[in-house]
Structure 1
Amino acid sequence: MNNKNLNQINISIIVFIISSTLGLLFSTAINASEDKHGDEPAHEIELVLMADSLAQKMGVKTKSVQPGSLEVSARLYGSIVTDPASLSHVRARFDGIVTKVNANLGKKVEKGETLAVVESNQSLKAYSVTAPFSGVVIARHANEGELSNGQVLFSVANYNEVWAELKVFPKQLPSISEQQPVVLGVQGAAEESTIEHLLPSPNEMPYILAYAKIGNTSGLWPVGAAIKGDVIINRSDVSMMIPKTSIQAFEGNSVVFVKNGNEYRPEPVTLGRQDSKNVEVLSGLRIGDVIVSENSYLFKADLEKSEAGHEH
């Protein structure tokens, strides 16, 4: 065989080898692609898209997952009463005739301000009946020309501080003591205070009374109003804590919606201890995750609506 024929055979062999190799590589790439597509889930990834502007209009609120303290509390009920040190029933020092009245019901007065003028029966000299402290006149029993005769002429009260008077029944007594923190609540207001006194109830009622002071310069704590108090009886530190309002039941799991940009994704969580407002998270979230803390039901409803549409 001459060299020319030998070269042609060699070239043919090389072309065959290259063609076979390229064909094998092309076939492998297609199979890998098919395998990759075959591994993808058959359903769509579950998430809800919502712009921040719309979320704000819908009342959606978010917060970052952080450590915290669970507070186990006992609920007490009672009413708001006047601070005894801030209520005075004003009388004249000496019996006599009321010659002038300067204060009427509802008037705000300053400490030392003249409420009325009385002429003494003994000396026939006039003297002033004054306000013992700054406050408001809540009762008036003095009129010009009347005799004072030791009666209460005015009642003056200062409501800048009031007391919560809470009933503690026997089954609650082991958990309640002085100096415990208590979160007080009345419609439209809440404040943390401390139980300062535990006293027997009058008339031998089957409970004792717990007293906690409340600042009332805002006027949101009216005397006589019904009040509730959550006495903190135990605190437990937890590594992750979220509001109960953030949790929804979805597809048999407790889920929390995690926000990432405009995406809200349901994440199954394992829950632990809880108090009246918050719950411990054992797994499913990380510190710093931004979750929907209020109105998370909107996202659950959107997912359920989407699934119902796919079924049809």
Structure 2
Amino acid sequence: MLRMTLMAGAALGGLAVATVFPSIPEATRNLVGLPVPPAVGASPASAETPKGDGHGHAEGGEHAEGEEGHIEMTAEQVEAAGIRVAAVQPGVLVSRAAVPGVLSASQDRQARVTARLGGIVSEVRKTLGDEVAKGDVLAVLESREVADAKGEFLAATRVAALAETTLAREARLWRQRISAEQEFLQARTAAEDARIKVDLGRARLAAFGLSEAEVAALARQPAATLRRLELRAPIAGRVTARNAVLGAAVAADAEVFSVADLSTLWVEMTIPPRDVPMARQGQTVLVTGEGDARAEGKIVFLSPVLDPETRSARAVAEIPNADGAWRAGGFVTAHLSTAEQPVDVLVPREAVQEVEGNKVVFVRNEEGFELREVALGREDANGYEVVFGLDAGTEIAVGNAFSLRAELSKSEAGHAH
């Protein structure tokens, strides 16, 4: 009885030692009678799994869905899930210096709509935030001054037409020796004076903001519309300011609307002295905002004069904003490249996922995707260097890879007991 008790105690002690010290060499384990652990990467279920339990490898080495990091997906399913696949390539890691910045509307894409003369607001057709095309009517003023200018122009055109008719008649009579040359010369002078008055009237209306088409259409418009002055958008964009109120008086040269094309924004930066030598006009910058907002732009202006007190330099970068995701007035961070380092294998940041504490990527194969653990090296704002586990040319999921991680977790949960 005592002997059996001692043997049982030794066995339990050996099991405890094997558990606490899993790294004991196999030879030592055999010498002292400790159990040998399964090989690294071997599935516990692979050791003498009873037939017909449904959880082993299929014949021919095919993998079940989600088993050992395998995900079966057809090309149609990959496309429907929005998963982007690309071959891994060498690349360049870029070290960057972070500079704070403020977004603003590009001064090249802003316009102020002013009243060229005083009047009363009779219509307001656009308001704050409205998208407008170039030439759209924003508001209508009624002005006595514009009515006088239009009336004088129409009168001048009629006088000019009559003077041209008189000149043609006098020229014919003079050629026929019926009238004197002096009468012909007087008619020609009168016609020239009339044409000058028409040109002056047209220039005056243009100064009030009327287009050539509007001036040409005046003769066909009713007299009641002569006092109307339409304020039009000079550029396409969005209404960012409105000072027009129906029935309110507007003074000459008053700003009535502001329109800005926000499809492109400026990033205004103050570059500190230590980073000024690395900045240059035309340089590409990475701009980041709240959350995952990011965009690439270029420096379009770098001041040649430093601030006398701080020795910093003012710079302006331009970024695209076609979808309106960025808002003028917001704070951002601009990342200026300071150094470049070539690497053999570079993957996008979104391609790398974390599974059970390990960094992994999803490699494309004929059946779908296979999880592969990788060792990462250096990194930048866009990607990681892979130092082990992946070769250039291998196709991996580079977009929406997190959905594969979710699919893997779901598949493994379905196989768990």
TM-score (norm 2): 0.49
Larger strand share, 1 or 2: 1
Query: Counterpart of 1:211?
Result: 316
Q: Tell me which of 245, 263, 266 is aligned to 1:160.
A: 263
What SS does the corresponding residue of 2:143 show, helix, strand or coil? strand
Distance in 2 (CA, whole Å) between partners of 1:203 and 1:112 is 44
Larger helix share, 1 or 2: 2
The answer to whether the aligner puts 1:71 opposite 2:79 as a matched pair is no
Unaligned residue ranges in structure 2 (runs of 5+): 1-35, 44-67, 150-226, 410-417
Q: Tell me which of 214, 229, 232 is aligned to 2:337.
A: 232
Query: Counterpart of 1:137?
Result: 239
Q: Tell me which of 120, 123, 126 is aligned to 1:101.
A: 123
Unaligned residue ranges in structure 1 (runs of 5+): 1-39, 302-312
TM-score (norm 1): 0.62
| 8 Å Cα contact 1:67-1:239 kept in structure 2 | yes
Taking structure 1 as reference, are residues 275 and 118 closer, same or farther at Cα in structure 2, changes over 3 Å only? same
CA deviation map 1:175-198 (0-9, x unaligned): 222111112233454332211112
CA deviation map 1:234-255 (0-9, x unaligned): 333322234567487999x998
Distance in 2 (CA, whole Å) between partners of 1:102 and 1:203 is 48
Query: Counterpart of 2:251?
Result: 148
Q: Tell me how many residue pairs correspond in the alignment.
A: 261
Deviation at 1:273, TM superposition (A): 4.5
| 8 Å Cα contact 2:72-2:369 kept in structure 1 | no
What SS does the corresponding residue of 1:214 show, helix, strand or coil? strand
| 8 Å Cα contact 1:179-1:195 kept in structure 2 | yes
Taking structure 1 as reference, are residues 138 and 120 closer, same or farther at Cα in structure 2, changes over 3 Å only? farther
Identity of aligned residues (%): 25
| 8 Å Cα contact 1:105-1:137 kept in structure 2 | yes
Taking structure 1 as reference, are residues 151 and 284 closer, same or farther at Cα in structure 2, changes over 3 Å only? closer
CA deviation map 1:43-96 (0-9, x unaligned): 24357344436xx9xx999865432222222222212101112222222223x3
Distance in 1 (CA, whole Å) between partners of 2:272 and 2:396 is 40
Letter of the 1:43 counterpart = A
Query: Counterpart of 1:174?
Result: 277
The answer to whether the aligner puts 1:90 opposite 2:130 as a matched pair is no
Taking structure 1 as reference, are residues 118 and 86 closer, same or farther at Cα in structure 2, changes over 3 Å only? farther
Distance in 1 (CA, whole Å) between partners of 2:248 and 2:39 is 93
Deviation at 1:135, TM superposition (A): 2.6
RMSD value over aligned CA atoms? 4.6
Distance in 2 (CA, whole Å) between partners of 1:101 and 1:201 is 49
| 8 Å Cα contact 1:80-1:227 kept in structure 2 | yes
| 8 Å Cα contact 1:92-1:118 kept in structure 2 | no
